[in-house]
Amino acid sequence: MNVIEIENLSKTFRGKRRALVQALQSMSLTIDQGETFGFLGPNGAGKSTTIKIIMGLIRPTTGIARLMGMDASHSAARAKVGFLPENPAFYDFLTAEEYLRFVARIFGLSGKALNQQLERVLSLLDLQEARRRPIRGYSKGMVQRLGLAQALIHDPEVLILDEPMSGLDPVGRALVKQVLLELRSQGKTIFFSTHITSDVEVICDRVGVIVKGKMQAIERVEDVLLRQTSGYDIHVCHPRTGLHKTVFSEAKTLPEIIVSSRDEGFEVIKLEPRRQNLESFFLDIVKSNHE
Amino acid sequence: MWQVFRANLKGIFRDRVFLGILVAATIFPLIPSVSSLSMRQVTELSITLSFSLLTFILLLLAIFLGGTSLWKDIERRYTFSIAGLPLTRGQYLLGKFAAIAVFLLLVSLVLGLLLLMTVYVTSILHPPIRPVVWGNLVLAVLFHCLKYILLVSFTFLFSTVSTSFFLPIFGTIAVFFVGTASQQVFDFLQSPSGQKLPVLLQQIATGLYYIVPNFTAFDLNVNAIYALDVPLNGIGLTLLYFIVYLVIILSCASFLFARRELN
Amino acid sequence: MKKLVLVGLVLLLYVSVVVPFTAYMQNKPFVEKLGYVPSAATLRTTSLDQQYLVSSTLIMKVLFYYGSLFEAQKNHIDIPPNYDGMVDVIETAVKLDPYNMDGYYFAQAILTWDNRRIERANALLEYGMKYRDWDFYLPFFAGFNAAYFLKDYPTAAKYYQRAADLTGYALFSKLAGRYMYEAGKTELAIVYLKTMLASTHDETIRQSFQLRLAALEETRRAEVARDLFIAEQGRHPKSLAELEQTGTLDFPLVDPYGGKFFLDETGQVRTTSKFSFAGAKKSRQ
């Protein structure tokens, strides 16, 4: 079953002075079960608009958006989905524990199962200490972690996360990355938007790049990385003079260059594949759109 | 819906609204002494003043709690986090409405008790000529409460189409004005001088009378103050009117809110 | 340190303003003005569901105004009262709350002796009777007005009968007949005033009634002495002084309004004050 199905989706808003703003243009996308999909795009590209349509917050101008095989406007479609909005805000007069219980009950959890899940997500996202404090007093990072906790409380099959890393400190970022990798290994479907390429590189199976409301490319992350490997950096050192240098070599010429370096009396200390990473792939697409 | 109701009711209490009401209610003990200014009807005046205080507090609560409830959720982006839950917009709206309605009922209960105590004290100090009919007081408090719950439904109706709190608050105040005057206008239309108005104007006004709410029916003050008999069939009809009208307004609000773009 | 000086300076400034300000407000001549009162229809619409409060407030306003006038009169300051204004406000008030007894009571208190607008008073009482259909005071007032001021005895008898029906108290049905023909007006007025007095605790109104009652009781004392003199001597007394000299009147008559009692040409007991402070002042001039 396709978890998310978007067909020929367009969205136009009325902007300032009643001018029409085309936020999305005939976008199509399908996400399979068990897939981890990174939705990459610069600010204002239409990532959040797409996610809002999938979550039924706004309706498409044309096209269809389906979640779990149902029209996105159906509330039942979200029963097995965990959602983290961008810069989330929660009823701030409640404590984290109260809010998580509120969410869990709406997802139909109760009794022992609820308590188990509550303890699980609280410790998973390191919110044990703050659980009885009102959300009002939380830092941005804590709210973000709570956001992930409430998306995970009912152990959903599918996770839709809008900028899950934003507002987190390095520790929190590492934690969330860890959590996402774990979920991926459990076979959950993850759809998340970001503008940070390295996160996609580490976590995702597939990546989609959206610029100016149009889906520019959908690729397997592996393929992009392989395609972009261009050669190797060879770090060498002369044992007597202590001279260091780095030599670049293409894959083909690698053995020859290593041999010739040795002949000159250098020792090879490090061999690094020079990968043009996802970032350059992404920047190339953005650049070509500006031209 | 039940969960939304619970969370929102908690929110109202945590915002210390109830505490504010209790502070305002400290005026109640002053009423017996103020009432003694009356020449002939001290107890009656104390009932009048108590009801004024009660309805004034309920009016403020209805307009400001109701008018800001949905707006605040949208403004503070709570709606985004609620959107991930398997709730329909209607369930969410009704849950929030129920929280305010129940809060108004609770406030009416507490203020109603204070009112009864105030009137009791006055009636002991200055026994009225016509004994106070306590049942009428209770009924009057209840119907005032229903009236303001109906008013809250209008704040929700306006909130579903508005992006700011201006329309919910000022629109509802306008509805309240029109709703308390509608019966008067209707009675005027039925009078000989009303019949002299242009027919079209009469028809428009009569049409409007059936559309806008009739808050006059919920006012049992005169029965409470002067111990007049409460017509039972009138009470029954008013109760039915309340239910039917509320269902219509909330249905409209749910319908509109379901179609609202939440950006 | 600088902050402390600044705070001190602001406080000093406030004190130096608020002391003369308070003194000014205290010494301000206190005259409750009636001001402009919108029509009943306008008020009913704008008062929303607070029309009973608005009605009570209007009556309070009139009462305070009346209270300040009464004070002024006692201090011999002659301010012509705006009776029409007062009654207009009362009429507006009872349109908002037709059950408000304070309104009818007060209108009855000021429209009769003070203002002699008996028809207006009885129209208002008739209006009130439609609503307060259990209240014997309204027909009792109307009956008194009809008998004492209008001398319309059949109408008075009708009202008194209604008051009697409402209370089952025989006094009212007798009132019209017995007091009007046997004892005369003064006795009737004394009974009326005692009823009025018994049913209020408002100080201004009480004081005004007590004054009038005292004056009427003095009048009654003079009338009793005069009738006794006629019975004993077989002729009318020349003046009230003659009653004192013959000992028929055991101590001198005192008009609480400050006037002087006298016998007019028809032999009726009257006073130069005409039952008001202003009247007493005029007669002295």
A5 beta partners: A30, A66
Dihedral sign for Cα C154, C157, C159, C162, please: negative
The answer as to whether C82 is a domain residue is yes
Q: Residue A131 is which amino acid?
A: R
What whole-number distance in Å separates Cα of residue A21 and Cα of residue A25?
Answer: 11
B33 CB neighbour count, 10 Å cutoff: 12
In a domain, B49, yes or no: yes
Q: What mean pLDDT is predicted for residues C132-151?
A: 87
B180–C45 CB contact, under 8 Å: yes
Q: Work out how many domains chain B is built from and give that number.
A: 1
CA distance B78 to A90: 5
Q: Are A244 and A77 in contact (CB under 8 A)?
A: no
pLDDT range class, residue B183, cuts 50, 70, 90: confident
Section C13-20 average pLDDT: 89
* Distance between B15 CA and the closest CA of chain C, angstroms: 28
**Cβ of C60 under 8 Å from any chain B Cβ?**
yes
Task: Look at residue C157 and tell me if it is in a domain.
Answer: no
> Which chain C residue lies closest to B34 (C-alpha atoms)?
C60
Q: Does A91 touch chain B (CB under 8 A)?
A: yes
Q: Would you state the pLDDT for residue C35?
A: 66
Contacts of C105 in chain B (CB under 8 A): 39-40
Q: At CA B135, angle to CA B133 and CA B139, rounded to 5?
A: 125
Number of C-beta neighbours around residue C71 at 10 A: 14
Q: Which of residues 241-260 of B touch A (CB under 8 A)?
A: 259
Q: ∠B100-B105-B107 over CA atoms, to 5°?
A: 90
Output the DSSP codes for A214-267: EEEEEEEHHHHHHHHEEEEEEEEE-TTT--EEEEEE-TTTHHHHHHHHHHTT-E
Sign of CA dihedral C12, C18, C19, C24: positive
Q: Is the pLDDT of residue C157 over 90?
A: no
Is A221 within 8 Å of A206 (Cβ atoms)? yes
SS3 of residue C270 by DSSP: strand
Q: What is the pLDDT of residues A128-186, one digit of tens each?
A: 998 999 999 999 999 999 999 999 999 999 999 999 988 889 999 999 999 999 999 99
| Confidence (pLDDT) at A279 | 81
The H or E element containing residue A210 is strand A206-211
Residue with tokens 């009326």: C192
State residue A220 phi and psi, 5-degree precision.
-75, 135
Domain presence at residue C235:
yes
**pLDDT for position A96:** 93
Question: Could you give the percent of chain C with pLDDT greater than 90?
Answer: 10
Query: What b/e string do you get for A79-106 counting C-beta neighbours within 10 Å, with b at 16 or more?
Result: bbbbbbbbebbbbbbbbbbbbbbbbbbb
Which residues have a Cβ under 8 Å from the Cβ of A68 and sit 6 or more positions away? A1, A3, A77, A79, A80, A81, A158
A and C make contact (3+ CB pairs below 8 Å): no
Write down the mean pLDDT value for chain B. Answer: 90
Contact call for residues A257 and A247 (beta carbons, < 8 A): yes
Facing residue for B52 by CB, picked from C53, C106, C134? C53
> Which of residues C92, C112, C133 is at a domain's end?
C133
Q: Is C45 helix (H, G, I), strand (E, B) or coil?
A: helix
Q: Is residue B50 part of a domain?
A: yes
Q: Which of A52, A56, A93 sits opposite B15 (nearest CB)?
A: A93
Which distant-in-sequence residues (6+ apart) come within 8 Å of A40 by Cβ?
A193, A194, A195, A197, A200, A207, A208, A209, A210, A278, A282
Q: For residue B200, what is the enclosing H or E element?
A: helix B199-211
Looking at residues B239-246, what average pLDDT do you find? 95
pLDDT score of B187: 83
Closest CA to A152 of A170, A171, A127, A174: A127
B187 touches chain C (CB under 8 A): no
Q: Which residues in B lie closer than 8 A to residue C58 (C-beta atoms)?
A: none
Strand A267-275 and strand A229-237: pairing?
A: antiparallel
Query: In angstroms, rounded to a whole number, what is the distance separating the alpha carbons of residues B258 and B87?
Result: 11
Which chain A residues are Cβ-neighbours of B76 within 8 angstroms?
Answer: 89, 92
- The reply to whether C169 touches chain B by the CB within 8 Å rule is no
Give the structural domain span for B62.
Answer: 2-258
What is residue C245's predicted lDDT score, i.e. its pLDDT? 83
Residue C181, domain member (yes or no): no
Q: Which domain holds residue C64?
A: 37-133
Q: Which of residues 15-74 of B touch A (CB under 8 A)?
A: 15
- Identify which of C48, C105, C132 has the shortest CB distance to residue B177: C48
Question: Has residue A109 got a pLDDT over 70?
Answer: yes
**What is the predicted pLDDT for the residue at B251?**
95
Rounded to the nearest 10 degrees, how much is the dihedral formed by the CA atoms of A29, A32, A33, A37?
A: -60
Of B42, B215, B225, the CB nearest to C49: B215
Interchain CB contact of B202 with C (< 8 Å): no
Q: Is the per-residue pLDDT at C272 higher than 70?
A: yes
State the chains in contact with C (3 or more Cβ–Cβ pairs under 8 Å).
B
Q: Among residues of chain B, what percentage have pLDDT more than 90?
A: 49
- Contact list in A for residue B7 (CB cut-off 8 A) is 91, 94, 98, 102
Q: Would you state the pLDDT for residue C182?
A: 47
**C139, C166 contact by CB (below 8 A):** yes
In this structure, the number of other CB atoms found within 10 A of the CB of residue B145 comes to 24
Instruction: Write the pLDDT tens digit of every residue in C160-210.
Output: 878 878 876 656 655 655 555 545 677 777 877 887 777 777 777 788 888
Chain C: nearest CA to B128, how far in angstroms? 11
pLDDT at A118 over 80: yes
Chain B residues inside the 8 Å CB shell of C45:
177, 180-181, 184
Q: Output helix, strand, coil percentages for chain C, rounded to the nearest 5.
A: 70, 0, 30
Q: How many domains does chain C have?
A: 2
DSSP letters, B115-138, are HHHHHHHHHHHS--SSPP-HHHHH
Is it the case that residue B109 has pLDDT exceeding 90? yes
Neighbour subunits, A (≥3 Cβ pairs < 8 A): B
Worst-scoring range by mean pLDDT, A149-158, B14-23, C62-71?
A: C62-71
Task: Identify the three-state secondary structure at position C171.
Answer: helix
The answer to whether the beta carbons of residues C214 and C76 sit under 8 Å apart is no
pLDDT at position A36 over 70 = yes
Quick check: B49 and C53 CB within 8 A?
A: yes
Interchain CB contact of C16 with B (< 8 Å): no
More confident residue, A291 or C30: A291
Nearest CA in chain C to B217: C49
Chain B positions in Cβ-Cβ contact with residue A103 (cut-off 8 Å):
85
Q: Does B194 touch chain A (CB under 8 A)?
A: no
Q: How far apart are CA C141 and CA C123, in angstroms?
A: 12
Closest residue to C99, CB basis, from B126, B184, B222? B222
> Distance between CA atoms of A279 and A286, rounded to whole angstroms?
10
Q: Is the pLDDT of residue C30 over 50?
A: no
B236: in domain: yes
Other Cβ atoms closer than 10 A to C176: 24
pLDDT tens by residue, B245-263: 999 999 999 999 998 888 7
Q: Does B16 fall in a domain?
A: yes
Contact C276, C257 (CB under 8 A): yes
On whether residue B219 sits in a domain, the answer given is yes
Q: Is B161 a domain residue?
A: yes
Of the ranges A110-119, C193-202, C211-220, the best mean pLDDT one = A110-119
Q: Looking at the domain assignment, is residue B243 inside a domain? A: yes
As for the ipTM of the complex, it is 0.86
Element (H, E) at B239: helix B232-258
Q: Which pTM was predicted?
A: 0.82
Q: Does C45 touch chain B (CB under 8 A)?
A: yes
> CB distance from B172 to chain C under 8 Å?
no
pLDDT in tens, C91-113: 999 999 999 988 998 888 888 87
Model pLDDT for residues B88-99, shown as the tens digit of each residue: 999 999 999 999
Write down the pLDDT at residue B13. Answer: 87
Q: Which of B77, B74, B86, B3 has its CA nearest to residue A158? A: B86
| Continuous H helices in chain A | 47-54, 96-106, 111-124, 140-152, 170-185, 197-203, 221-228, 254-263, 278-290
Nearest chain C residue (CA) to B49: C53
In this structure, chain C runs to a length of 285
Given C49, C56, C99, which is nearest B226 (Cβ)?
C99
For the stretch B32-72, pLDDT in tens is 888 888 877 889 999 999 999 999 999 999 999 999 989 99
Q: With the C-alpha atoms ordered C76, C82, C84, C85, is the resulting torsion angle positive or negative?
A: negative
Contact of C42 with chain B, judged by CB distance below 8 Å, is answered with no
Query: How far is residue A132 from each of residues A128, A136, A288, measured CA to CA in Å?
Result: 9, 12, 50
* Contact list, B183 vs chain C (CB under 8 Å): none
- Residue labelled with tokens 């509805």: B175
Question: Smallest Cβ distance to A75: which of B7, B11, B88?
Answer: B88
